[in-house]
Amino acid sequence: GVAIMALKSGVPVIPLAINGTFKAFPRKTKFIKPVKITLKFGEPLNYNVEDKPSKERINTVKDEIMKNIQNLYNDIS
């Protein structure tokens, strides 16, 4: 996913946490409820271009991205 794209392209990844979407649009409902949705953007994560990243490298980058998103989510929860 995003880790492979980041490593192969060198484009920065901007982590984003979103809170409130499940309150706005719960499962099995037909209409969106008007509730407060909070977005928090993190600092860009930069990776050097790699033609053939190893599975270990991909997992390391994925874990770093997910950790950043979790930290942002914890800040807004």
- Res 6 pLDDT > 90: yes
Q: Which residues share a beta bridge with 41?
A: 16
CA-angle at 16, arms to 11 and 22, nearest 5°: 140
pLDDT in tens, 60-70: 999 999 999 99
d(C-alpha 58, C-alpha 31), whole Å = 38
pLDDT in the model for residue 77 = 82
pLDDT in tens, 8-54: 999 999 999 999 999 999 888 898 889 999 999 999 999 999 999 99
Side chain identity, residue 33: K
pLDDT in the model for residue 54 = 95
